[in-house]
Amino acid sequence: MNPSITKTGSSVCPACQMLGHDGDFCRATSLSDGRIMCVNGCGFIAPFNAVSVPSNMPYSLKSLLAVMLGERELHAPYLKLTLATFGPHASSNLAAACAQGNEGTLLNHGMFILSADRHSFAKLQVTYRADELQNVPEDFTCLKKKALDHETEQFLRNLNLHSCPPALVKAIGKLVSIGFAIRVQDFSTGSYRRIQLHCGGNIAGTSVPKGIMVEATYLV
């Protein structure tokens, strides 16, 4: 371990805890840079105790969050969780949705946001509907990551050339390796850059995606 980052004591892995593990399966070590080193395989994780992850969030999304937050290399760039929601955000929203007959959409909608830089100018926004997850893996932590093909590796190199923050480049590569497909690449709007990824197939008989949508955005 690099002498600039030291072990400071014992802790609990927030990712393992979120996934329902307990006892020895949540053991971790706290580090001097504020992160947690999981003993049971999550890697190095930025703590997210300050951000409440809804207990009723679908397990597949909790597992995806755990995968995105875990980092195997101590000095590699990493993401931080800044927001996690599921279901109605306020009773007034629910009342309005019920009045319009759209309560199902509101109750099933969820989102979490991961920051890839200090000021959250670069981020991943993950959105989903709980009733559209039929073709999504039940547990992303159990997936064997696939090797990236030449086209994807070239795309990631181009992201670096387009000043994409390293943590965001790494996150996009991780998403592709667990089955997400790149749908949109937008580098044409001023200083704003957007990459959209998707997992879960389309609505039957259409080209409209369902499942999990991820939008990576950053400023240059």
* DSSP states of 138-157: S-GGGPPPPPPPHHHHHHHH
Query: pLDDT class for 106, splitting at 50, 70, 90?
Result: low
Q: Are residues 127 and 181 in the same domain?
A: yes
Q: Find the range with the poorest average confidence among 101-115, 142-156, 206-220.
A: 101-115
Q: What does the DSSP assignment read for 158-174?
A: HHHHTT--HHHHHHHHH
Q: Are residues 54 and 39 in the same domain?
A: no
Q: Are residues 140 and 123 in the same domain?
A: yes
Query: pLDDT class for 201, splitting at 50, 70, 90?
Result: confident
Q: Are residues 169 and 117 in the same domain?
A: yes
Query: pLDDT class for 98, splitting at 50, 70, 90?
Result: low
Average pLDDT over the chain reads 87
Identify the pLDDT of residue 156.
Answer: 93
The number of folded domains in the chain is 2
Q: What single DSSP character describes residue 1?
A: -
Q: Are residues 39 and 58 in the same domain?
A: no
Percent over 90 (pLDDT), the chain? 57
Q: Are residues 109 and 170 in the same domain?
A: yes
Q: Are residues 90 and 3 in the same domain?
A: no
Range of the domain at 20: 1-44
* pLDDT tens digits along 186-200: 887 778 889 999 999
> Do 213 and 126 touch, CB atoms closer than 8 A?
yes
Q: Are residues 16 and 62 in the same domain?
A: no
CA separation for the pair 201, 94 (Å, rounded)? 28
Q: Which residues is 193 bridged to in the sheet?
A: 218
Q: Are residues 121 and 149 in the same domain?
A: yes
Q: Are residues 17 and 111 in the same domain?
A: no
Q: Are residues 21 and 114 in the same domain?
A: no
Q: Is 180 exposed, middle or buried (0-12, 13-18, 19+ CB in 10 A)?
A: buried
Identify the pLDDT of residue 90.
Answer: 42
Q: Are residues 188 and 82 in the same domain?
A: yes
Identify the pLDDT of residue 102.
Answer: 55
CA separation for the pair 132, 121 (Å, rounded)? 29
Q: Which residues contact 24 (CB under 8 A, 6 or more apart)?
A: 40
Identify the pLDDT of residue 1.
Answer: 46
